[in-house]
Amino acid sequence: MFKSRIYKYTVLVLFPLTVVISQEDIQYKYNLSGGIGVNLLNSTSLTDYLNSISRRRYDDFIINPEFFVSVGYQVSDNYCLKLNYNYVINSFNIEDVLGYFENHLSIHTPVILIDRFYKTDGVILKLGAGIGYSYAILGRKILSTQIENFYSYGLGLKFDFEANTPFGDNLYGLISSDIKLFLMSEFQNSNFQKLVFRYGNQNKNLDLDFFSISLKFGLIYYF
């Protein structure tokens, strides 16, 4: 229900912008961009897992660095097809009465989006939506044992807003924000064993269903 409401509100807020923004023609056919940003990740299962092995309490939203690269192809005067790759990484090193736990999380998320272009006073604005695949790896090390990797996969949606300000004829600065909603599988190792943890009075299998919000900065080159 919560995720459904977020999706509806996003559509209601972004759609009217397609009507009120005046625009100029965009002459470029391709674009290439990259940068770095901050990702706020909400995954109930991940938060429960971390709180089950830690004496400190983790918040519902976990802050992570996020890196991205994108390549776009303008399919018409106002629309661009974009292939976007996002990489989120974080480490959770936890010392508890039971020992020392190392947890290394990385999330790879390629997404295909359709962007709607607007150009006004030299600034390029984009509204985009698309579907993607996410692949996550959680490396866990307990005490002096070797790192054991667990894997999770899933599909989801991404909605983004992007603004480009000119630095030159073809080079622009980039600032963007996005929302991602992904449904992921339960973590399993290479032997198909699930990652089970004790939370409260029950055993739970760790998955990575997530909702995230990102703010990113970078450069984009049009040609």
- When pLDDT is averaged across residues 97-125 and rounded to a whole number, the result is 89
Does residue 71 sit within a domain? yes
Quick one: pLDDT at residue 11? Answer: 46
**Spatial contact of 66 and 212, defined as CB atoms under 8 Å apart:** no
Quick one: pLDDT at residue 12? Answer: 43
**Is pLDDT above 80 for 16?**
no
Does residue 78 sit within a domain? yes
Does residue 137 sit within a domain? yes
Number of domains in the chain: 1
**Spatial contact of 27 and 204, defined as CB atoms under 8 Å apart:** no
Does residue 2 sit within a domain? no
Burial of 200 per CB tally in 10 Å (0-12, 13-18, 19+): exposed
CATH number of domain containing 135: 2.40.160.70
Does residue 5 sit within a domain? no
